[in-house]
Structure formats: C-alpha cells, structure tokens
Amino acid sequence: MDIKAKETPAPAGLNWRNKSRKTYTPEQRLAMVKECEAPGASVAEVAQRNRVNTNLLFKWKRHHERGLLPVPKVASGALVPVMVVKAKKRRVKRTVRPWARSVATPGAIEVELPGARIFLHGAVSETNLAIVLRALGRR
C-alpha cells in the first residue's frame, strides 16, 4: 500500500488566511466614493492610490447611489439641516354619519435621506419614531 504524505501548509507568515482583512470606516469609504465622483477622476486610479480593489470601490459607488452605504456618524450635539415645508391641504368629500366619530390626526413628518424619503402622516408615537430613527442612524 502506497501512502503519500500530505503537503504541509505554507508558513504562518506567508499564509493569507492568517492575515486579517483591512476594514474601512464609513468616513473613509465615503471619501473614496466622493473622490471618484470628481470630474476626470478614474476609479482605478483612486483604488490604486488608496490600495483598495477596484471592484470593491465600484460596489461602494453603487451602494452610495442607492443610499445603502453606511453614513458616517455625526458627532453628538452637531446640528442637522432641517427644512420645514408647508403641507398641501387636500379636500376630501366626507359623508357625515352620526355613529362614526372622525378623529383628526394633525401633523406630518418627512425625513429625506440619500436614496430614500420617509413620510409620516398623522399622529406618530414617540417610541415608534425613536425606534425608526435609531435604525436609520445605524445605516
């Protein structure tokens, strides 16, 4: 019976499996994507300069266009620009039924993000709104 010896793996210093992957912060990713959007900029050149795979940078660009790229965290206490827009009133023809009580739900909230817009009409629970805003903050 002929038994072949197993090949030994590469030494620990040369084995790519032992190396941890480079991680980039949302700020770094956004900076590279913005650099690619400059007029005359080449994605390949930006990738080489930052030592990032070109395909990864293209993926980050697609995610940024769709609003899926993680947003850099804003320092606590920083102000966020807000624009208040007067809502248009819609006239709705209603039939009055003595047994049905209509409850007015005043107010509307509109949150605009890159690639997404959220409308909240009527009364909104503070706890539910806090949950939604926390989830959006993690993006």
For 20-48, the pLDDT digits (tens) are 788 899 999 999 999 999 999 999 999 99
Q: Is the pLDDT of residue 114 over 50?
A: yes
What are the tens digits of pLDDT across the range 117-139? 777 776 777 777 777 777 777 66
Average pLDDT (7-22) is: 68
What's the confidence (pLDDT) of residue 87?
64
Q: Domains of the chain: which residue ranges?
A: 16-66
For the chain, give the mean pLDDT: 75
Ordered DSSP codes for 1-43? ---PPPPPPPPTTT-GGGSPPP---HHHHHHHHHHHHSTT--H
> In this structure, are residues 118 and 110 in contact, taking their beta carbons and an 8 Å threshold?
yes
* φ/ψ bin of 60: left (φ > 0), alpha (ψ from -120 to 50), beta (otherwise): alpha
Closest CA to 73 of 27, 134, 14: 27
Of 93 and 86, the structure prediction assigns the larger pLDDT to 86
